[in-house]
Structure 1
Amino acid sequence: MEFTSREDIDVPIEQVFEMVTDFEVFERSALRRGADVSRLDSLSQPGVGAKWAVSFEFRGKAREVALELTGFDRPNELSFHAGAQGVQADMKIELVALSRTRTRLQFWTGLTASTLSARLLLQSLKLARGTLNTRLSKRMANLRRDMEDRYSRMS
């Protein structure tokens, strides 16, 4: 099962990459939404090998996710792998410079199941695909607005 979204951001690609790799901002955002986030690595700079343990409640059950940064190509691409209770997810964030001051951010995630209960979870997600795509689009639009606001404050 796949989800994709893209946003064109009025910020240069280097600054978008810096904002996307400011993991502390995303950690705080997850904490505000009720998740528990723990950084598991000791890297001083963003890079391959960064790891997190994330726990949250989804569909009435506690979920534990192990997340790892598996690809890091400045300023073009980030890849992540996540695993939780029989569900594996690969995620990719690609940045494309549309001009000197405009960047396209493309997000892709693919989910696979390795257990029967995980397959049932993915099946229920497929039934809610429209709602989930709408929520993803709204989150991406909010991310775009936040990045443009942060960039305008920096300039």
Structure 2
Amino acid sequence: MKFSTREDIDLPLDKVFEEVSDLDQFERAALRRGVKIRRLDNHADARAGMQWEMDFVLRGKERHLDAQMISYDPPNGMMFEGKSGGMLHHLTVDLTPLSKKRTRLQLELELKPRSLPARLLIQSFKLGKQKLNKRFKQRVTDFAREMEKSAAR
């Protein structure tokens, strides 16, 4: 199952990459949402090989996710992979310059079930895919608008 969206941002490519590669910011946001997150590496700066362990509640059940950054290509994008129970996750962040002051952010999240319970979870997601897609797109849009606002300050 795939979720994807793209958003055009009125900022230069380097500035957008700086924001999307600020992984500490995303770790803090996850903590605020109740996710227990732990870094498994000791890299001071963003790079391929970074790893996280996360525990969170989804659909009333405690879940565990092991994630790692598999590609880091400044200023073009990043890729992450994760494993949660019987499910594989693949997140791609791709940046494309549209002009000197405008950048396209493209996100793609792919979920691949590898067990029967994971297949059942994906089936329940498919029933609400339109709503989930809308939420996914809205969060990316909100993130893009917040980036533009903070750059204007």
TM range (shorter): over 0.9
Matches within 5 A, 1:122-137: 122-137=122-137
> Residues 52-102 of structure 1, C-alpha deviation per residue, up to 9 Å, x if partnerless?
111110000011111100011111120000110000011100000011111
Counting only pairs closer than 5 Å after superposition, residues 57-96 of structure 1 correspond to structure 2 as 57-96=57-96
- Give, as a single letter, the amino acid of the residue that structure 2 aligns with 1:98: L
Offset at 1:133?
A: 0.4
Structure 2: how far apart are the matches of 1:32 and 1:111? 24
Q: Which amino acid aligns with 2:60?
A: G
Gap regions ≥5 residues in structure 1: none
Helix, strand or coil for the counterpart of 1:34? coil
Q: Given residue 90 of structure 2, which amino acid in structure 1 is its aligned partner?
A: D
What secondary structure sits across from 2:144 in the alignment? Answer: helix
The share of aligned pairs that are identical, in percent, is: 41
Equivalent in the alignment of 1:14? 14
- Number of corresponding residues: 153
Q: State the TM-score, normalized to the length of structure 1.
A: 0.96
SS of match in other structure, 1:55: strand
| Distance in 2 (alpha carbons) for counterparts of 1:87 and 1:133 | 19
The 5 A counterparts of 1:107-122 are 107-122=107-122
Instruction: List gaps (5 residues or longer) in structure 2.
Output: none
Q: Write out the 4+ residue segments of structure 1 that deviate beyond 6 Å after TM superposition.
A: none
- Between 1:93-102 and 1:144-153, the stretch displaced more is 144-153
TM (norm. structure 2) is 0.97
Following superposition, the deviation at residue 150 of structure 1 comes to 2.1
- Residues 3-24 of structure 1 show CA distances to partners (whole Å, capped at 9, x for unaligned) of 1011111111001111111011
Q: Distance in 2 between matches of 1:150 and 1:67?
A: 29
* Matching of residue 5 in structure 1 with residue 5 in structure 2: yes
